[in-house]
Amino acid sequence: MTRLVAAYLASGLVFIALDFLWLAVIAQKLYQREIGGLLLAKPNMVAAVAFYLIYLAGVVYFAVRPALATGSWTTALVSGAIFGLVAYATYDLTNMATLQGFSWTVVAADLAWGVFVTAAIAVAGYSGAALIKA
């Protein structure tokens, strides 16, 4: 259990740092240009925190746990990438199907980001858990 808590915390720290960089610096202009009319003036922080807490639990369960079982960080990498693709595709493709003005450019950027960031945080979680003796 201690290893899973370490994994959750390590994944969370890396996710917060990377996602802040993505949202505040890298993708901000893209989102404004492509879907500006859909964006809130200020994010709903309750929803954002709920997303991070739930998503991190999913990463630990679906990517880090299997990696700890195999003893391989590459399992975390691949499982994280797949989980990220599925989760971000669910969000983006549902938006594409239901929202007027949601663009394929945003879908492509988000899917690439979801694969990258989830693979990265899964490896971070695996690394954090590996520091704790089983």
Token couple for 23: 């949202």
Q: Is the pLDDT of residue 22 over 80?
A: yes
| CA atoms of 118 and 122, how far apart (whole Å) | 6
For the chain, how many structural domains are there in total? 1
Token couple for 95: 């938006």
| CA atoms of 105 and 21, how far apart (whole Å) | 19
| Mean pLDDT (whole number) for 1-24 | 96
Range of the domain at 9: 2-130
Query: What does the pLDDT look like over 45-87, one tens digit per residue?
Result: 999 999 999 999 999 999 999 999 999 999 999 999 999 999 9
| CA atoms of 58 and 62, how far apart (whole Å) | 6
The predicted pLDDT at position 1 comes to: 82
